[in-house]
Structure 1
Amino acid sequence: MKISYTFRTVIGLFLTSAFLTGCHVREQPAAPENAFSEPTNVSLPKPGKCVTPPSGLVSWWPGDGNAVDIVDNNHGALQNGATFAPGMVELAFSLDGTDDYVSIPNLDMNVFSFEAWVKRDRIDVPGFDRLLMSVDCGGWGVYFDGDNSVRLTYTCYSNVGSGGTVTDFEWHHIAVTYDGFTAYFYLDGTLDSSSPYGVSFNSQNGGNYSIGSRGASEFFKGLIDEVRVYDRALSGAEIQAIFAAGSAGMCKDDGKVTICHKPGTPAQKTMVIPIQALAAHLGHGDVIGPCP
Structure 2
Amino acid sequence: MKKILFALLLTTEFVFGQVDINSGLRAYYPFNGNANDASGNNNNPSFNNATLTADRLGKANSAYHFNGINNYIRIPNSRSLNLGNTITLSVWVRPTGFYYDICHASSILSKGTADYYPGNYTLRFDDALYTEGKGCSGDRLSDSLHLNFRATGTPQIAYRPYINKNQWYQVIYTNDGDTAKLYVDCALKYAVNFKEIFSNGDDLFLGKTNDPLFPFWLNADIDEIRIYDRALKENEILALCKEEIKKDSVVKKDSIKPVTLIDNKPLEKRNNELVKQIIVDNDSISVTLYDNGDIDGDSVTLIYNNRVITTHQRLSDKPKTFILKVEPGNNNNELVMYAENLGSIPPNTALMVIYDGKKRYELNISSTNNSNGVVAFRLKE
TM-score normalised according to structure 1 size: 0.61
Q: Does 1:114 align with 2:93?
A: no
- For 1:198-277, what aligned pairs fall within 5 Å after superposition? 198-203=195-200, 206-215=201-210, 217-245=215-243, 246-247=245-246
Q: Does 1:87 align with 2:55?
A: yes
Residues 96 and 4 (structure 1), Cα distance of their counterparts in 2 relative to 1, 3 Å cut: farther
Partner of 1:163: helix, strand, or coil? Answer: coil
Q: Name the counterpart of 2:125.
A: 144
Residues of 2 paired with 1:223 and 1:122: CA distance? 10
Cα-to-partner distance string for 1:105-145 (whole Å, 9 max, x where unaligned): 33222211000111010258551111110242331111112
Q: Does 1:70 align with 2:38?
A: yes
Q: Name the counterpart of 1:180.
A: 177
Residues of 2 paired with 1:98 and 1:123: CA distance? 11
Cα-to-partner distance string for 1:249-289 (whole Å, 9 max, x where unaligned): xxxxxxxxxxxxxxxxxxxxxxxxxxxxxxxxxxxxxxxxx
- For 1:30-69, what aligned pairs fall within 5 Å after superposition? 53-69=21-37
Out of 187, 192, 198, the position equivalent to 1:190 is: 187
Residues of 2 paired with 1:42 and 1:125: CA distance? 36
Out of 155, 165, 170, the position equivalent to 2:167 is: 170
RMSD of the TM alignment (CA)?
A: 3.0
Cα-to-partner distance string for 1:42-65 (whole Å, 9 max, x where unaligned): 99x9xx99x963421111011122
Instruction: Tell me, yes or no, if the aligned pair for 2:46 and 2:74 is still in contact at 8 Å.
Output: yes
Q: Name the counterpart of 2:341.
A: none
Aligned-pair CA distance for 1:168: 3.7
Aligned-pair CA distance for 1:180: 1.1
Instruction: Tell me, yes or no, if the aligned pair for 1:120 and 1:222 is still in contact at 8 Å.
Output: yes
Q: Name the counterpart of 1:284.
A: none
Residues of 1 paired with 2:6 and 2:82: CA distance? 33
Q: Does 1:96 align with 2:67?
A: yes
Gaps of 5+ in 1: 6-40, 249-292
More strand by share: 2
Residues 212 and 140 (structure 1), Cα distance of their counterparts in 2 relative to 1, 3 Å cut: same
Aligned-pair CA distance for 1:74: 0.7
Q: Which amino acid aligns with 2:23?
A: S
Cα-to-partner distance string for 1:159-199 (whole Å, 9 max, x where unaligned): 54673432342111000001111100001012121111123
Residues of 1 paired with 2:152 and 2:179: CA distance? 13
Cα-to-partner distance string for 1:143-164 (whole Å, 9 max, x where unaligned): 112342122237xxxx546734
Aligned-pair CA distance for 1:102: 0.9
Q: Does 1:133 align with 2:130?
A: no
TM-score normalised according to structure 2 size: 0.47
Instruction: Tell me, yes or no, if the aligned pair for 2:21 and 2:236 is still in contact at 8 Å.
Output: no
Residues of 2 paired with 1:173 and 1:183: CA distance? 17
Q: Which amino acid aligns with 2:105?
A: F
Q: Which amino acid aligns with 1:172?
A: Y
Instruction: Tell me, yes or no, if the aligned pair for 1:108 and 1:140 is still in contact at 8 Å.
Output: no
Q: Which moved more, 1:59-68 or 1:237-246?
A: 237-246
Residues of 1 paired with 2:198 and 2:112: CA distance? 13
Gaps of 5+ in 2: 14-18, 128-145, 248-381
Partner of 1:225: helix, strand, or coil? Answer: strand
Partner of 1:175: helix, strand, or coil? Answer: strand
Instruction: Tell me, yes or no, if the aligned pair for 1:183 and 1:196 is still in contact at 8 Å.
Output: yes
Residues 42 and 225 (structure 1), Cα distance of their counterparts in 2 relative to 1, 3 Å cut: farther
Residues of 1 paired with 2:208 and 2:6: CA distance? 26
Residues of 2 paired with 1:4 and 1:244: CA distance? 23
Q: What count of residue pairs does the alignment treat as equivalent?
A: 201
Residues of 2 paired with 1:104 and 1:160: CA distance? 29
Larger Rg: 2
Instruction: Tell me, yes or no, if the aligned pair for 2:99 and 2:219 is still in contact at 8 Å.
Output: no
Residues of 2 paired with 1:227 and 1:184: CA distance? 17
